[in-house]
Chain A
Amino acid sequence: MSAPNKAYDPVEAATLSAGELQRMQADALAAIAAAANLDELKTARLAHAGDRAPLTLANAEIGALPPAARADAGKRVGAARAAVRAALVQRQADLEAERDRRVLVDEAVDVTLPWDRPMSLDGARHPVTTVGERLADVFVSMGYEIAEGPEVEAEWYNFDALNFPPDHPAREMQDTIFVAGPEPGERSGKVLRTHTSPVQIRAMLTRPLPLYVVSPGKCYRSDALDATHSPVFHQIECLAVDEGLTMADLRGAINAFVEAMFGEGLQTRLRPDFFPFTEPSADVSMQCHVCRGASAKPGGEPCRVCRSQGWIELAGCGMVNPRVLVACGIDPDRYSGFAFGLGIERSVMVRHGVADIRDTLEGDVRFSRAFGMEA
C-alpha cells in the first residue's frame, strides 16, 4: 500500500497518468449520457462521482505523488472531476425536465368526456311559468301588483260584472265550461273562468284606488284542442284604474310592455275590436320581432314567425267600460281605467317560435328542459 510522500510508486501512480484520467472521465461522461432516467443517473453518479468512483480514488492518490508532480496531477484530476460534475448537473436537469414533461403528458385526460354524474337529474321549469313570471315582472317593474283569483268562478264575476249581459251573444264568444247545478239542467251560477278578467272585478272590489294590478292565471274554454287552441290555457292581463287615464296611457303601457318583452323599438298597432268590459276596445298587434316588418315589404325575405304579415296579433285591450266601474262601486265620473291582456302560451309561442300549443301541454320533459330555469 502506498504511504504519503514516502516513495513514488509508479504502479499506483499510473492511475494519475493523463491517458488513464481521460479514460476515466470519458467512461463517466458516457455513463452519464447513457442514463435514461433519474434512477440510472443516480447509479451513474455513484459509480463515477461517488466515494468509490475511479476519479475519487485518483484524487486520493495525488497526495502520494512527489511534491513536484502533485500540482500537475491535481490540476488534471480536478479538471476531470469538474467535467463529470458539470455533466451530472446538466443531465440531472435534463432528466428532471423530461420527467416533468412526461408526468404532465401521462396525466392528461380527455376533458371532453361527459361527466354528467350529478347528484340529481336535469330539472327545469315550465316556460308557461317562467314566461308568465317575466310578463308579470314587466308590469311589476312599472309598479303593478300581482292579483290572483279562483279558477272555479262565480258567473257574476266572470260575466255579469264585466258587462256581459245575460243571454247576450257576447257570452257565446267564449265557449264556457259550466259547473253543474244541484240538479241536471239547473244552473250553478259557477263557471270555469274563461279569462282572467274576473280578477279585475275582485281587485276593484277589494283594493284601494288608484289601482294597478296584473293578473296571470289559468283559464278554461270548451275549445277543441288543435295547434293553436287549448281548452286549458293561461292569460295575463293588466288593469289600471286612476284619475285621468286615457287611451294614450294604454298605448304607453302597451309599448313599454312590448319593448321589454320582445325588443326595443318595436311598433304596435291598435285596431277596433269588441270586449264587453272595455269601451273602446282594440286588438293589439306588434311589429314582428324577427323580421321587424321587412317580410311584408315588396321583395322582403319571407318570415316564418309572422307568416310574412309583418305584424303579430298579440293582445286585446281597451278602456274599462264605465259600466264595469259602476258594478264595482267606482265613480266613473272621477276614475277611468284601461286593461290589456294576452295569452301566455301564445307569448311563449311567438317569442320562442313554438309552432304547436300542444307542446306546452303534454308535459314532455324535453320541452321544459329546453328552457331550463329562466325563459
Chain B
Amino acid sequence: MRLPLSWLLEYAAIDVAPDDAAGVADLSRRLTACGLEVESVEPVGHDISGVVVAEVLDVAELTGFSKPIRYCQVSIADGQQRHVICGARNFTAGDRVALALPGAVLPGGFEIGARKTYGRVSEGMICSARELAIGEDHAGIMVLPADAPLGADFVTYAGLRDVVFDINVTPDKGFALSVRGVARELAISYQVPFTDPADVGLPADVAATSPEVHPVSIEDTTACDRIVLREVRGIDPATPTPLAMKIRLARAGQRPVSLAVDVTNYLMLELGQPLHAFDRARLHGPIVVRRAQPGEKLETLDHVVRTLDPEDILITDESGPISLAGTMGGVATEVSDSSHDVVIEAAHFSARGIARMSRRHKLGSEASARFERGVDPQLPPRASARATTMLAALGGGTVVPGCSLAGEEIEPVRIAMAADYPDQVAGLVYGLETVQKRLREVGCAVAHMPGSAADRPDGAGAGNGAVAVGVEVAVPIPDAGPADRRTRPDHGRHDRPGLTLLVTAPSWRPDLTDPADLAEEVIRLEGYQDIPVRAVRAVGGRGLTRRQRLRRTLSRALAADGYVEVICSPFTSAGDFDRLQLPAGDQRRQAVRLANPLSDDEPLMRTTLLPGIFRTLARNLGRGFSDVSLYEFGMVFRPKSGAPPVAPILPVDRAPTEQEVARLGAALPDQPLHVAAVLTGNAEPAGYWGAGRPAGWQDAIEAARLVLRTSRLTFSVRADRHEPWHPGRCAAIVIGNEQGQEWLAGHAGELHPRVIAAFDLPARTSAMELDLSVITTAADAAGPVQPPALWSYPLAVQDVALVVPRAVPAADVERALAAGAAAAGDVRLESLSLFDVYTGGQVGEGFKSLAYTLRFRAPDRTLTAEEVRGARDAAVAEAARQTGAVQRGGSS
C-alpha cells in the first residue's frame, strides 16, 4: 500500500514536513512499530526545480519533419515570453502548462537546457505527467487548470514535495489498506487528534432512502449483506480530474482514468471502501446481487469474457450479469466519455466469497484485495454519499437526494475479556486504565461486564462474549500508569474473581474477534519494547530419541568415510523412472502427483533418492571434479495402495477424534526416510605415491554395510537383481533378527550400464540406497548392547582354505563356518575373517578358494590342540554340508 505523507496528515494532526528527514524517519519507525511495516520511504518532488506555470500564447505548426511538431510561444508572467518546441498536440493557445525553464531539473536528475532542435531554439520544455513523475501519462503534456497562477513555481503550486510510504499490509489488517486506517494508527502513535474521513462531507441523513434512486435488492445475503446505490445526474464527462487528485492517485500507484472512476478510486484509497460507477443509461432495470446461474458469461473491464461459476457473486440487472462483485466491473455498463448520469454502488460482500471468486478467475484487483481482508460494513452509505457529493461538485452534476439500499443492519462483534488478560499475555501489568484507553483508541467501546468483579465469583460472566476463548478469571488490577509499571511477579493465572470487560469491536476492525486480538492491540500500541525478558526455566526433556541420535551418527560415519552430504531436489518425473529402467509394475513408479508443480517437467514427488543424487553428481563432474562420493538423507513419498484420495478438512472448534486423525493419516503417503550414496572416479585418490583405487561396486556395498554396522544390526548381503543396478553387481542388504525375521533394508552395487548412460554418468558409477526407517526401527527394537564376556585364556588361531564353486557367495560360506563352529561345544569362535580369495589353475575351472582365519577361545581353560581342531573341523564340515566346500590341502 503506497500512501503519500500529505494525505495522511490531512486526517492525523501530526506536525511533520516532507523535507524533515528526522521527522519522516520517526514516522516511518512508528508505523513499523505498530505493525504497519514500512518497506520503503520515497521522497518525491524534491528533485524537481525550475518548473513554472506558463500560458501558451500561440502555437505554430512546423511541417517537413517526420512527425508533427509545434513551435509555441509561452508566457510566464507579464512580458516574459519564450519559445519552446513541443511534440504533443493535446493543448491549444490559452492553456496553462508546466514549463521547465532552461536550467530546470526533472526527476532522475534530468537537466533541461535551451537547445536548438527542429531548426528552432527551444527555451525549455512543456512537461507531461510522466516527466514530472506524477503519473504514467505521456500521451500529451499536462494541461493545468485555468486558474493556475502564471509564473508560480509548479512544485509549490501542485504540492509536489511529499514522501510516499510503501507499507506492507499483513492479511489481517484490511483496515490499513486506506488513508483512514493508517492515519488512525498514526494519530494513536503520536497521541494527536484524528479526523475520520468517513465522517467528512456527509448529508444530514446518510441512511435516507429515496425511490428516485435506481432500485437495488439482494437475492443471496450470504454473498452480500449490504448494498447502497446513489445517483448523480448531469455531469460533464469531459471534466478533467483535479490535478491534486491525479497526483495523489499517481503517488498511490493508481492510473488516472476519468473523473467518475478517479473519484471512486480516490475514495477507495481514502476510506478503504471499493466503489463502482455504472453508466445509468446503460443499466436495464433494477440491480440485483445474486450468485451466477449456469452458463452465464460476463465480459469484464480487462476485456476478458469470463464463464461464470454458480458460486460467483454478481451484480446483475435485467440484461444479466453486469459486474463481478467487488472484483471487477463489466464492459457493458462501464462509464465512458458520454456518461452524464452515474450510479455509484457501494456494498459489503462476503470476504470469503470474493476471495474464492478472485482465485477462481485468477483476477485480483484493488477492490478484491480489500474485500478479502475485510471492509467496514458501515462504510457503504457514507462512501457512496461522499462519492456522489464529490462527483457532483467536480463534474457539475446534481446529486439525487437519498439512496437506494438493501441488506440488513450488521451487528457489531462483542468480546468479553478479563481485564487483566493483556497483562497475562504480555507478562507485564498494564493496568485497567491503559487497557481501556488503548482499546478505545482503536475504536472499541469498552464497558464493564455487569457484576463481573463482585457478583460472579466463578467468573463465568466471561463466557458471554462472541468468542470466549482465552477469557480468564482475573484479579482486580491495581491501576498502574506507565511510570509505575512493573513485571508481574508470577506470570500465572489467578483463581480469584476479577473484572471482565465487554468490548465492542469497531466496524472497521473485523479482525478483532477474540480476547487474544484485543490483547494484541494493547500490547502492540504500548510497544513490544516494554515486554520484559524472563529467564528460561528448565524443563524436563529426555534429549534426542535413539532414532534421532542414530541418524546423526550415520551421517557422521558416512562423512568420515569420504562421502559429502548433499541436499537434492525432491521432484521427479516418469522420465526418471524410465531412466532408472524401472519395470512397469515397480512400486517406485507410484508417486505423489502435484497439482501445481514448480516445473511441469517434474510433476511428481520422489520415490527414490537416486535420480536427484545422480544429477547432483553430474553437476559436480561438470564443475571439474572427477573423484566424487556423495550421500543424501531425505524422505521419499510412496502413496499407500487403497488410501482415500482426499484428506478431509476437519473442524477447528474442537480437537479431532482419534478416528478423524486416523482418516487424515490414511490419506497421506508413506514417507520413509532414505539414505543414498553414489560414487565415481577414485575411492582412494591418486597422487605422487602412485595410482588411486577406482571406486566400484565394493565401495557402494561397503557404504551400505557401514550404515548397518554403525546401526549395530545383524544383516546379510545377498546377490540380487534390482533396478537400477547392474544385474551381476547388485547386493540386497537384509536385516535379520534372532527370531529369524528379515527386513529388506535396500540395495547397493554398480549401476546398470543403461542407467549410467541415461543419466550421463561415468562408467562403473556405483550407488546404494537404504530405507533408514526400516533400519532405525530395527535398531530401536534392539535392546541395550550386551558386550561379550572378556575371556582371558589364550587365543587359538586356525586358518582354513575352502574350495567352492565360484557362484557360491562368500557370505554363505562364512555363515556356514560360523554355524558349524557354534555347534562345537563350549569353544567360542571369537572372530572369523576372510584373508584370501584365489581363483586359478590350482583350484580348477569354475571354482574359487576362500581362505579364512578362525580365532577360538574358551572361557575357563587353555584349549587343547585337539579341541581346536575339533571346532575347526566342525566348522568346515558345516561349510561342506551347506555349500559343498572342500578344504584345500586336505589336512583335516
User: A residues touching B (Cβ–Cβ < 8 Å)?
Assistant: 114, 116-126, 128-129, 133, 140, 142-146, 150-157, 160-161, 163, 165-170, 172-173, 177-182, 186-190, 192, 205, 210, 212, 218, 222, 231-232, 240, 242-249, 251-253, 255-256, 269-274, 276, 279-282, 319, 321-323, 325-330, 332-334, 336, 360-365, 368-369, 373
Known: A126-B567, A273-B35. A205 touches B650 (CB 8 A): no
Contact of B558 (CB < 8 Å), options: A123, A282, A362, A369:
A123
Please tell me if the beta carbons of A334 and B493 are within 8 angstroms of each other in the complex: yes
Contact of B652 (CB < 8 Å), options: A145, A161, A253:
A161
Please tell me if the beta carbons of A169 and B564 are within 8 angstroms of each other in the complex: no
Q: Which residues of A contact B359 (CB under 8 A)?
A: 167
Please tell me if the beta carbons of A163 and B652 are within 8 angstroms of each other in the complex: yes
Q: Is B781 an interface residue (CB 8 A)?
A: no
Please tell me if the beta carbons of A336 and B425 are within 8 angstroms of each other in the complex: yes
Q: Is B428 an interface residue (CB 8 A)?
A: yes
Complex: how many Å from CA A156 to CA B524?
30
Q: A167-B372, A274-B170, A360-B567 are in contact. List 14 more A-B contacts (CB 8 A).
A: A121-B685, A123-B562, A123-B563, A126-B565, A145-B543, A152-B637, A156-B664, A166-B352, A242-B539, A248-B426, A249-B534, A323-B652, A333-B472, A336-B424
Residue of A nearest to B599 (CB): A231
Please tell me if the beta carbons of A142 and B560 are within 8 angstroms of each other in the complex: no
Contact of B32 (CB < 8 Å), options: A161, A271, A319, A362:
A271
Q: How many Å from the CB of B469 to the closest CB on chain A? A: 4
Tell me if B's interface is mostly helix, strand, loop or mixed: loop
Which stretch (B214-222, B435-443, B622-630) binds chain A?
Answer: B622-630
Q: Which of B557-612 contact A (CB under 8 A)?
A: 558-570, 592-598, 603, 605
Q: Is B742 an interface residue (CB 8 A)?
A: no
Complex: how many Å from CA A246 to CA B35?
20
Residue of A nearest to B359 (CB): A167
Please tell me if the beta carbons of B654 and A205 are within 8 angstroms of each other in the complex: no
Q: How many Å from the CB of A247 to the closest CB on chain B? A: 5
Q: Which of B627-675 contact A (CB under 8 A)?
A: 627-630, 633-635, 637, 645-650, 652-656, 661, 664, 667-669, 671
Complex: how many Å from CA A154 to CA B660?
12
Q: Which residues of B contact A152 (CB under 8 A)?
A: 592, 605, 637, 668-669, 671
User: Which interface residue of B355, B567, B593 has the most chain A CB atoms within 10 A?
Assistant: B567
Q: Which residues of A contact B652 (CB under 8 A)?
A: 160-161, 163, 323, 326-327
Known: A121-B629, A189-B648, A365-B620. A251 touches B605 (CB 8 A): no
Q: Which residues of A contact B592 (CB under 8 A)?
A: 152, 179
Complex: how many Å from CA A167 to CA B351?
9
Complex: how many Å from CA A179 to CA B493?
43
Q: Which residues of A contact B427 (CB under 8 A)?
A: 246-249
Please tell me if the beta carbons of B352 and A167 are within 8 angstroms of each other in the complex: yes
Complex: how many Å from CA A284 to CA B468?
29
Please tell me if the beta carbons of A124 and B559 are within 8 angstroms of each other in the complex: yes
Please tell me if the beta carbons of B683 and A179 are within 8 angstroms of each other in the complex: no
Tell me if A's interface is mostly helix, strand, loop or mixed: mixed
Q: How many Å from the CB of A250 to the closest CB on chain B? A: 8
Known: A160-B649, A232-B570, A280-B519. A172 touches B171 (CB 8 A): yes
Complex: how many Å from CA A210 to CA B540?
10
Q: Which residues of A contact B492 (CB under 8 A)?
A: 243-244
- Mask, B511-525, CB within 8 Å of A = 1, is 000111101100110
Known: A274-B173, A363-B567. A154 touches B540 (CB 8 A): no
Q: Which residues of A contact B424 (CB under 8 A)?
A: 246, 336
Which stretch (B93-101, B313-321, B544-552) binds chain A?
Answer: B544-552
- 25 A–B contacts from the bound complex (CB under 8 Å): A123-B559, A125-B555, A126-B567, A142-B536, A145-B542, A146-B544, A167-B355, A180-B593, A181-B646, A182-B646, A188-B647, A189-B667, A246-B488, A247-B523, A271-B35, A273-B37, A279-B517, A279-B520, A322-B515, A323-B652, A328-B655, A329-B654, A333-B472, A361-B569, A362-B616
Q: Is B535 an interface residue (CB 8 A)?
A: yes
Known: A280-B425, A322-B516, A333-B471. A362 touches B619 (CB 8 A): yes
Residue of A nearest to B513 (CB): A323
Please tell me if the beta carbons of A170 and B534 are within 8 angstroms of each other in the complex: no
Q: Is B689 an interface residue (CB 8 A)?
A: yes
Q: How many Å from the CB of B759 to the closest CB on chain A? A: 14
Q: Is B736 an interface residue (CB 8 A)?
A: no
Please tell me if the beta carbons of A125 and B565 are within 8 angstroms of each other in the complex: yes
Known: A163-B652, A272-B33, A323-B514. A190 touches B598 (CB 8 A): no
Residue of B nearest to A142 (CB): B536
Q: How many Å from the CB of B416 to the closest CB on chain A? A: 12
Please tell me if the beta carbons of B32 and A205 are within 8 angstroms of each other in the complex: no
Please tell me if the beta carbons of B668 and A363 are within 8 angstroms of each other in the complex: no
Q: How many Å from the CB of A338 to the closest CB on chain B? A: 10
Q: How many Å from the CB of B216 to the closest CB on chain A? A: 26
Complex: how many Å from CA A117 to CA B647?
55
